[in-house]
Amino acid sequence: MGKKHNPVIQAAGGILWKKENETKKIAIVHRHKHKDWSLPKGKVDPGESWKTAARREVLEETGYVGKITKYAGSISYLLDGKPKIVLFWHMKVKGEEPEKMNGEVDQVRWVTVQEAADLLDYPDEIQLIQNAVPKREKGT
């Protein structure tokens, strides 16, 4: 047989929520390597569950511990010709003080869903966060 490989790149991430006054905000991250704004996410390590990977990536990229509240959805795309799937979970911030980040991210911003939609570089991620907001909160 040929070399052993997983034909699909598996990744996980989170939509991390917190309330500032009465406004719900989410964390988005700027990755200097990619020069992009995105939701915190990353590859699932061997033997790691999707949820564990999502919590780890949120902690590594935002510095905040996230408590999973519910499944948010998935996105998929081609990366260097290989299919990649990313599963996302909604999370609430546990605790106030952020931990040390891993260095992949040079900026974390807490923004409203509308602000995130204006900043995020990936349409699939924008759709994911917009799907999370009830229509009555969108003003439609």
* SS3 assignment, position 33: coil
Residues whose CB falls within 8 Å of the CB of residue 121, separated by 6 or more in sequence, listed in order: 36, 37, 38
Answer for the pair 127, 76: CB distance below 8 angstroms, yes or no.
no
Global pTM reads 0.88
> Which residues does residue 76 pair with via DSSP β-bridges, in sequence order?
85
104-127 residues labelled b (16+ CB within 10 A) or e (exposed): ebeebebbebeebbeebeeeebbe
Taking only the tens place, the pLDDT of each residue in 76-110 is: 999 899 999 999 999 999 877 676 666 778 899 99
Write down the domain spans for the chain.
9-95+102-135
The CATH topology of domain 9-95+102-135 is: Nucleoside Triphosphate Pyrophosphohydrolase (3.90.79)
Spatial CA neighbour of 13 closest among 63, 64, 72: 72
Give the per-residue pLDDT at 8. 94
Taking only the tens place, the pLDDT of each residue in 16-26 is: 999 988 999 99
For residue 28, is pLDDT > 90? yes
